[in-house]
Structure 1
């Protein structure tokens, strides 16, 4: 019964992710076509810039709260309430930091307005403590209900806006409204499927201190990851302008769409790899090698086809106005080889309790990416940012491993995947 319960819970989450990817790509491309490179670039920049600071509002609490909810079922109401208020405080602190940060940019008032509208969604994201509650109860189907409802509502609104030729700022309001709808859905489902009452929404200082003592490393990790995934578009805007961001964002949207594959495969087969460790260390690493092989060659096949079809695919999906996105995509798509390896090795690091190494290599990636963007964007334009991403992914997910004794074995295993005859052997 326990296995069935967890399997159904995972299935709900996986189905929601697949739906979100499909709908997100379809509507995202439509929005990009409608807005055009200049406005789509500004919209993408506003989301990226806001994301650099709003990540602080999560306070790294999500996994910690789930763990505490499972461990201490008698204090669930206090945990949920305290985590909620911590997130609300974190959201307002993040907005204050954002107010200060925009003064160091060249943004005009309209750009800053877009940033603040999008960033304000963080306040409603405080209600995702409900997600943590349902995770602890292995009842993620309720979270999926709320997420799917929110996704469909926001997608319909975006389509209506496109058909009625709405201005760019309307799409920023959709981001905020999407968070509001999701928060309402969470509240309704939580009150309906728990014994919690509004009067119990209190703040416990001792619980707050304990949660923050455990979560501060995750706060730092979240900030580093946020910079790692968003800084390229921010730097492109500052160096080249909005249209270049739009060209780059369109290409990245297509390139990153493939990342559901390693997530799905890892989720499916990694439990079997971990179980193999109980039987034999040799079997454990044999299975891990097979997974690395599969990831690399699936990524290589995707990258080859995408490179040859990049211009055609971009023209078909986005139209002729995104005339630079094809060449960007042809470069950026090769980063998925190392990205697929990175996702797999993240699972290995987790199974070996080496999360700190994960933080170090992500921080290393931020430094490398910023330096490369400063060098390559002025010299090669927006294509330089794609090269920077490719080199960064290779450095983080592959080369970094050789410099740490605990991950050196992973470096040699990943190297083996590059030899095609080994793929057929396994």
Structure 2
């Protein structure tokens, strides 16, 4: 919850701090960089619970994560320097530091699996509260430099991950790497990465295409609304992580209630999502005016449109983890890639005809398809869930 509040409040402060040009540059860097930052996680949400449950050293995971950090940082830099030459090279290099600050981001999943999520939450809330205070003071005293916002973006990740790593006492080691395990994990990770790439891409492709067709100002206003909806998504995804870890523990313990519990978790996520949609539609205009001002009034419509898919995104967050846990990493890639194609096609058609509202509807359709329909039509997966065989 605090992560969502901080993300929303931060964007509000940034919109008041920076010029439209710098705000557009920040949005572009975060949108593009966020895609590759997500990839450096290499499916930690699914791999870490298994590593902790089996009491493995995890050396193969850490090696792959370090490699991914360097690889995706380089890809990010190449794309920026090739296609976004209008953005200052200093800003691009400063943002690239966040890739290395993000290394310990997997600590959340370690804490969750060790049933120490309360410890991680306290660390995260403390750092984000202090960070939010500093941001507020910076804006209050007239701060208007994009460098500050890029630096604090990285520092938050570094402190949260590093402090959690030190307190959780789950050492990072590169000793005793098993080549057969590494090859097997690389195979799984390759499909997880491809799936993550497509998910991250279609979560940001709309903003980047709006920037291309309609300009950075329109992209900024779209991002303001979509970012609020993503803040709500964080809540459901966090709950989904907890449910997945519990399902995994129950499955290892061979409990007979696994199938029934899966249904209960899905129902809970659906009800939670519907409640979120109702809440957003009641307060979207008020929230946008309060956070960004009347000049961002169009963002309220984007927020309301995006809220339609909240329940499906919540359920999809849980089902996608079960899907990978069942060994369907390759099928998961096909699912997400097909959803990306649908989203790109819809966005390409709807932006020129309906503007940023068209992009929002395109996102909703693709999310419902990816997060719900594609799982439901997989009879083999549904059969395994019905039998409680994860």
TM-score class, shorter:
0.7 to 0.9
SS in 2 for 1:359: helix
Of 16, 28, 31 in structure 2, the residue corresponding to residue 48 of structure 1 is 31
Q: Of 205, 230, 255, which aligns to 2:229? A: 255
Secondary structure at the residue paired with 1:278?
coil
Decide whether the 8 Å contact of 2:7 with 2:231 is kept in 1.
Answer: no
User: Please, which moves more after superposition, 84-93 or 132-141?
Assistant: 132-141
Tell me the equivalent position of 2:99: 122
1:331 to 282, 305, 308: 305
Q: Give the superposition deviation at 1:367.
A: 1.0
1:64 alignment partner in structure 2: 47
Seen in structure 2, the aligned counterparts of structure 1 residues 156 and 360 have a Cα distance that, compared at 3 Å, is same
Q: What is the match of residue 124 of structure 2?
A: 147
Deviates more, 1:98-107 or 1:118-127: 98-107
Unaligned runs of 5+ in 1: 1-17, 411-426
Count how many residue pairs are aligned between Structure 1 and Structure 2.
Answer: 378
Return the TM-score normalized by structure 2.
Answer: 0.78
Partner of residue 9 from structure 2, selected from 13, 19, 26: 26
The answer as to whether partners of 1:56 and 1:94 remain within 8 angstroms in 2 is yes
List aligned pairs for 1:19-418, cutoff 5 A: 19-35=2-18, 38-60=21-43, 63-72=46-55, 76=57, 79-80=58-59, 83-110=61-88, 112-128=89-105, 137-166=114-143, 167-186=145-164, 188-189=166-167, 193=169, 204=177, 206=179, 208-209=182-183, 211-259=185-233, 262-263=236-237, 278=256, 284=260, 288=263, 296=270, 299-300=273-274, 302-303=276-277, 306-307=280-281, 309-343=283-317, 345-346=319-320, 349=323, 356-400=330-374, 403-406=377-380
Q: Deviations over 1:230-263 (max 9, x none)?
A: 2221222222221112111111122233335545
Give the drift of 1:143.
3.6
| TM-score (structure 1 length as normaliser) | 0.73
Question: CA-to-partner distance for each residue in 1:149-202, whole Å, 9 max, x for gaps?
Answer: 432343233223212322122101111222333354246436xx47x6x9x765
The 8 Å contact of residues 41 and 247 in structure 1, kept in 2 or not, is answered as: no
Aligned CA RMSD, in angstroms, stands at 4.0
Unaligned runs of 5+ in 2: 385-390
Name whichever of 45-54 and 341-350 sits farther off: 341-350
